[in-house]
Amino acid sequence: MEDSVPMSAIVTLSDVKKDYPLGKLTVRALKGIDLTISTGEFTTIAGPSGSGKTTLLNLVGCVDVATEGVVTVAGQETGKLSDRELTKLRLHKLGFIFQSFNLIPVLDMFQNVEFPLLLQGGMTKAERHKRVRDIVDRVGLTDQLRQRPNELSGGQRQRVAIARALVTKPQIVLADEPTANLDSATGSSIIDLMKEMNEQDQTTFIFSTHDPHVMERAGRIVKLVDGLVVAG
Amino acid sequence: MIGTFRVLVLMSLRNIFSHKVKTLIVGAIMAFGTFLLVLGTSILDSIEASMAQSIVSSLAGHLQVYDGRAKDPLALFGGLSFGSEDIGEIPDYSKVRAELAAIPNVRATVPMGLNVSVVNATGDMDRELELLRAAVGRGDKVAMAQSELRIRHIVGLLKAETERNAVIGRDKADLDEKSALLDRALTDAFWAQLRAEPTLNLQWLDTKIAPLAPEGRILYMRLLGTDLPLFARTFDRFEISEGTMVPEGERGILLSRSFFEKQAKDKAARDLDKIHESVVVKGRSIDKEKALQDEVARLKRQATSLAGRVRPESYAEVESALRTRLGAEDSVQLPALVEQLFTLNDANLRAQHDLFYEVVAPQMEQLYAVAIGDVLTLRAVSKTGYFNAVNVKIHGIYSFKGLEKSDLAGAVNVLDLITFRELYGQFTEAQQKEMAAIREDVGLEVVKKENVEDALFGGDDSLIVADTDEGGFDEFEGNTLGDTGGDKKAQVAFPPFTQAQVDEGLVLNIAVLLDDDTKIGETQAAIAAMSEDKGLNLNVVDWRTAAGIVGQFMIVTRAVLWIAIFIIFLVALVIINNSMVMATMERTGEVGTMRAIGAQRRFVLTMFLVETLVLGAVAGTLGALAGVGLVTFLGSVGIPAVEDVLVLLFAGPRLYPTVGPSHVLLALVVIFFVSVVSTLYPAWIATRIQPVVAMQRRD
Ligand SMILES: Nc1ncnc2c1ncn2[C@@H]1O[C@H](COP(=O)(O)OP(=O)(O)OP(=O)(O)O)[C@@H](O)[C@H]1O
Ligand SMILES: [Mg+2]
């Protein structure tokens, strides 16, 4: 692959451990992760079930904090941030693509994509609408603007989710098994789309997958086994 | 910002539609709550308005001023101790009036004094005997013959009743004895004897026959002594509906229409009226209600005595008319006919009621115990514990325009202040002199209690009775009422009085009417300050307090309504809260997603609040509309006062409630408050949803 030279580290994890309470016991899901991801990378996190892929993405996605170690995302040490600051970081620097698409059911496609821009504020209606139209164009859903999520197919929904993740022009897009709920052809087209976005905007993509075909397309594969990085 | 708000409202509307069960439960509760609030507050306000109107504009004015040394609170419409409250006294009205007049917003003051008196209404036999005695005294042969006819008629009825009782099998010996006495009174021989030797035989009638006849009744009268012309001017709904106003400077009493119709009216006729009103006005049913059936039974028991009150000369005529109209056989007599007339049910009530007033009532001896022109002997316990009696002429009957149906307006009979003071037992020096002069003029004397009976039986009603010990009503039983003996001199006896005599004397309380009735509290404070300032030692109370139990009843009713509303909304709060918590749980994933994407906790909180507020606004509006609709409907048909206590509250037999913007606004404010409070907890839970839940696998 035409992997570009890393420009700068946008995500770093050093000796990150994550424990989950499980009744009276604790489960150590991550056992000391050291990892650096650079701007513009198209990285996949691979590994068997229970190896800690989701846990890792949660930490990078600032929806959870490490038990031990330091996680730095877009220059900010997440362990030191309040809920408010973490939320702001997610809103302005990160984009999310979920396995189950997670669109807001009561909003139509256009409104779902517009939603993060509304949360950000500071944009005129015209600017916002142009931004939404452009990104919807790029994911190829211009004809479904006023449809509700339940009127869209799985592939279409995930395209909407991609548009929503990218509409704020984030630095990092995180996706936990974005193709797991899609058939392989659709999944493949979703990966194509993600790759295209990665290349055009230099947006960093970090996603997890079980699918070997998907892994092949990644610029970098970080392999996890039992809470430790074994390769990548 | 506007965009964010728009999307919030949009989301809340869509959520309201998509969570149908929650919306239905919460919306229904909110709508019902608002509906109840609009209904409750508007009806209560209407009750209060109608009560305020009947209290303020008939008697109380906006404020009442009375003696600061009073032992009991002022209770214009009766307190707990019926009529015997000690509310102190204001020795010189004119002094206080001058000070009150100087206070801004005071439009008028009216001097007052309340008292309760008894008047003995004579039984028929007593009255006839009185007439007979007077006729004998005058040597009026024609009048004597008429009296004889009437007395023999009454005795005849008594005899018939005794025979009926004998059939039922009551105490035989007793009945035989009565029968013998009655038989004698029916013989021509007895009456010939009476003409020959009146004194002895009159006494025999008094002692032997009169006790066998039904007793007269005691009428209780609430009295208001006041400056009558001023009272009539100030309470401008006041109108004379029969008779005339008491001329300025003269003594006299005006009976209230409600006293006249309810107390003074023949009891059986009044009972019939009540049953008629229950069914026709209040929409109750004799056929279905035991209470009304009991009333009908009580009415039927009065049939015989009522028949006795039909004029002897019209007796046969009434009897045959009723016989024809009721389709009875020739042998059926008047008492039985009246009983049949009084055998009421829902179907025949209207017709039989009308029949009574068409055929029987006009021929009754005394449909009303008193009549305009009568001189009443009012008796009351004076402030010193003596039992006072004064005579006063009935000039007319009054009512308050628009408040004719109110039991509160017109609860008192009004009389001049001079007579009031006499009955109350307060005489100024001038009055005492005046009294002395009167006594000389007409040969009156203060009589000791032992001589009261003699004095009264002497037909001289214009006396001042000075009781030597605590007087009881029973000592006066059998005394005459009214103008039976042609005793007109009582009126001649009292010289006219001047305005100064009215003003410069004792009153018990003063009604204060205001220009601006929204400033009752301020003016009350101003009067209290003035009283403090001048050392007048006055109590100042608003009309609600002055109304006594009635006013407190209103306060209690309002408190009950608010407690009920509070409980309803508390329950609503719990239910709304629970279903909102459940709805929040359902939306955990959605909320988590928003949080992951970058929505702050505040956004989530706002989202839930907006959702309830939108629902509250929609449901509240619907509920309020339903409430306004119902009140408007009730306002046109009226709510019947099915219970007597409601008649009092409604100030009439029906309440016509009105609803205003303030009721709707209040209801919406409350529903807004309840919406917000009930959503706080579920919304708070929602803000605790972690963004990480968005990452969890869902299908
Ligand atoms: N919330 C949690 N509470 C307790 N244990 C957890 C929790 N989340 C994850 N774990 C545990 O942590 C370990 C790592 O889980 P994680 O979900 O990160 O694995 P994964 O690689 O994403 O697996 P999969 O491929 O099945 O998605 C597992 O043993 C899992 O049971
Ligand atoms: Mg996983």
What average pLDDT does this structure show over B161-170? 72
Two tokens, residue B636: 């046109």
| Residue-level pLDDT at B311 | 85
Tell me the sheet residues that pair with A37.
Answer: A11
CA distance A126 to A192: 30
A200 lines ligand 1 (CB under 6 A): no
Q: What Cα–Cα distance (Å) separates residue B453 from each residue in B209, B449, B505?
A: 20, 8, 32
Nearest to A97, CA basis, from B596, B588, B601: B596
Determine which of B16-20, B268-272, B324-328 has the lowest per-residue pLDDT on average: B16-20
- Radius of gyration in angstroms for the set of CA atoms belonging to chain B, rounded to a whole number: 35
Q: Which of B9-18, B206-215, B522-531 has the highest mean pLDDT?
A: B522-531
Tell which atom from ligand 1 comes closest to the C-alpha of A224.
21
| Residue-level pLDDT at B645 | 66
Q: Determine whether B384 is exposed, middle or buried from the number of CB atoms within 10 Å of its CB (0-12, 13-18, 19+).
A: exposed
For B240-292, write each residue's pLDDT tens digit.
999 999 999 999 999 998 889 888 888 899 999 999 988 988 788 999 999 99
A158 lines ligand 1 (CB under 6 A): no
Instruction: Flag whether pLDDT at B214 surpasses 90.
Output: no
- Residue length of chain A: 232
What average pLDDT does this structure show over A74-87? 94
Tally Cβ neighbours within 10 Å of residue B79.
19
| Residue-level pLDDT at B476 | 37
A43 lines ligand 1 (CB under 6 A): no
Q: Which of A129-138, B469-478, B480-489, B563-572 has the highest mean pLDDT?
A: A129-138
| Residue-level pLDDT at A169 | 92
A106 in Cβ contact with B9 (< 8 Å): no
Instruction: Flag whether pLDDT at B451 surpasses 70.
Output: no
Contact state of A118 with B4 under an 8 Å Cβ cutoff: yes
Residue of A64, A102, A125 with shortest CB distance to B3: A125
Angstroms from B611 CA to nearest CA on chain A: 13
| Residue-level pLDDT at B484 | 39
Please give the sequence-ordered ranges of beta strands (E in DSSP) within B556-692, or none if there are none: 639-640, 654-655
CA distance B506 to B536: 14
> Position of tokens 């001589």?
B451
CA A40 to chain centre: 13
Angstroms from B691 CA to nearest CA on chain A: 6
DSSP three-state, residue B629: helix
A12 lines ligand 1 (CB under 6 A): no
Test the B interface: residue of A53, A103, A104 with most B CBs within 10 Å: A104
Angstroms from A2 CA to nearest CA on chain B: 31
CA distance B446 to B464: 6
Which ipTM did the prediction report? 0.93
CA distance B111 to A117: 77
CA distance B309 to A65: 102
Residues in CB range of B404: below 8 A, 6 or more apart: B257, B410
CA distance B545 to B52: 11
CA distance A56 to A66: 9
Angstroms from A53 CA to nearest CA on chain B: 11
A53 lines ligand 1 (CB under 6 A): yes
| Residue-level pLDDT at B411 | 76
Which residue, by CA, sits nearest to atom 27 of ligand 1?
A49
Residues in CB range of B622: below 8 A, 6 or more apart: B31, B34
CA distance A229 to A34: 8
B650 in Cβ contact with B641 (< 8 Å): yes
A209 lines ligand 1 (CB under 6 A): no
DSSP three-state, residue A188: helix
Nearest CA in chain B to A154: B699
Contact state of A90 with B597 under an 8 Å Cβ cutoff: yes
A54 lines ligand 1 (CB under 6 A): yes
A49 lines ligand 1 (CB under 6 A): yes
Tell me the sheet residues that pair with B654.
Answer: B640
Q: How confident is the model at residue B16 (pLDDT cuts 50, 70, 90)?
A: confident
Nearest to B471, CA basis, from B390, B384, B413: B384
A58 lines ligand 1 (CB under 6 A): no
**Exposure string (b/e) for B332-355, b if CB count within 10 Å is 16 or more?**
eebbbbbbbbbebeeeebeebbeb
Q: Determine whether A126 is exposed, middle or buried from the number of CB atoms within 10 Å of its CB (0-12, 13-18, 19+).
A: exposed
| Helix A109-120 with B588-597: angle, nearest 10 deg | 50
Tell which atom from ligand 1 comes closest to the C-alpha of A55.
18
Angstroms from B618 CA to nearest CA on chain A: 19
CA B480 to chain centre: 28
DSSP B376-424: EEEEEE-TTS-EEEEEEEEEEEEEETT-TT-SSTT-SEEEEHHHHHHHH
| Residue-level pLDDT at B169 | 65
Instruction: Flag whether pLDDT at B334 surpasses 70.
Output: yes
CA distance B402 to A132: 70
Q: Which of B83-87, B154-158, B686-690 has the highest mean pLDDT?
A: B686-690
How many helices (H) and strands (E) would you count in chain B?
Answer: 28, 12
Q: Determine whether B624 is exposed, middle or buried from the number of CB atoms within 10 Å of its CB (0-12, 13-18, 19+).
A: buried
Two tokens, residue B88: 């102190």
Closest ligand, as measured to the CA of A47:
1
Tell which atom from ligand 1 comes closest to the C-alpha of A56.
18
Two tokens, residue B158: 């008594």
Instruction: Flag whether pLDDT at B228 surpasses 90.
Output: yes
Name the phi and psi angles at B684, rounded to 5.
-65, -45
Which residue, by CA, sits nearest to atom 22 of ligand 1?
A54
A205 in Cβ contact with A43 (< 8 Å): yes
Q: What is the DSSP letter of B496?
A: P
Q: Give the Å distance between the CA of A219 and the centre of ligand 1.
A: 25
| Residue-level pLDDT at B106 | 93
For A34-61, write each residue's pLDDT tens digit.
999 999 999 999 999 999 999 999 999 9
Contact state of A106 with B11 under an 8 Å Cβ cutoff: yes
CA distance B363 to B312: 9
Mean pLDDT of all residues belonging to chain B: 82
> Position of tokens 């919460």?
B26
CA distance B677 to B662: 22
Closest ligand, as measured to the CA of A224:
1
* B548 vs B396, residue with greater confidence: B396
For A121-156, write each residue's pLDDT tens digit.
888 999 999 999 999 998 888 888 899 999 999 889
CA distance B395 to B373: 6
| Residue-level pLDDT at A3 | 46
Give the angle B662-B667-B671 at the CA atoms, nearest 5°. Answer: 150
| Residue-level pLDDT at A28 | 94
B570 in Cβ contact with B672 (< 8 Å): no
Contact state of A119 with B603 under an 8 Å Cβ cutoff: yes
Contact state of A63 with B692 under an 8 Å Cβ cutoff: yes
Map out the domains of chain B as residue ranges.
2-54+552-689, 69-121+217-265+374-444+482-536, 124-212, 267-367
Contact state of B7 with A118 under an 8 Å Cβ cutoff: yes
Nearest CA in chain B to A58: B692
CA distance B41 to B659: 9
Which residues are placed with Cβ below 5 angstroms of ligand 2, an ion?
A: A 53-54
Please give the sequence-ordered ranges of beta strands (E in DSSP) within B104-252, or none if there are none: 106-121, 217-226, 238-243
| Residue-level pLDDT at B302 | 87
* B50 vs B357, residue with greater confidence: B357
Two tokens, residue A73: 């995302």
Q: How confident is the model at residue A7 (pLDDT cuts 50, 70, 90)?
A: low
Q: Give the Å distance between the CA of B247 and the centre of ligand 2.
A: 104
For A150-196, write each residue's pLDDT tens digit.
999 988 999 999 999 999 999 999 999 998 888 888 888 889 889 99
Residues of chain A with a CB closer than 8 angstroms to some CB in chain B: 54, 57-58, 61, 63-64, 83-84, 87-88, 90-92, 94, 96, 98-100, 102, 104-107, 111, 114-116, 118-121, 125, 128, 164, 176, 181
Instruction: Flag whether pLDDT at B573 surpasses 60.
Output: yes
Nearest to A131, CA basis, from A156, A92, A166: A166
Q: Give the Å distance between the CA of B698 and the centre of ligand 2.
A: 12
Instruction: Flag whether pLDDT at B1 surpasses 70.
Output: no
Nearest to B466, CA basis, from B427, B430, B492: B427
For A16-26, write each residue's pLDDT tens digit.
999 999 888 99
**Exposure string (b/e) for B403-413, b if CB count within 10 Å is 16 or more?**
bbbbbbbbbbb
Nearest to B302, CA basis, from B269, B273, B328: B269
DSSP three-state, residue A96: strand
- Radius of gyration in angstroms for the set of CA atoms belonging to chain A, rounded to a whole number: 17
Two tokens, residue B314: 């019209």
| Residue-level pLDDT at B453 | 42
Q: How confident is the model at residue B470 (pLDDT cuts 50, 70, 90)?
A: very low
What average pLDDT does this structure show over B37-44? 90
Two tokens, residue A55: 């846990």
Q: Which residues of B touch A102 (CB under 8 A)?
A: 589-590, 593, 596, 694, 698
| Residue-level pLDDT at B465 | 41
Instruction: Flag whether pLDDT at B442 surpasses 60.
Output: no
Nearest CA in chain A to B11: A106
Two tokens, residue B45: 């306000």
Residues in CB range of A105: below 8 A, 6 or more apart: A148, A149, A150, B18, B590
Name the phi and psi angles at B537, rounded to 5.
55, 65
Instruction: Flag whether pLDDT at B452 surpasses 80.
Output: no
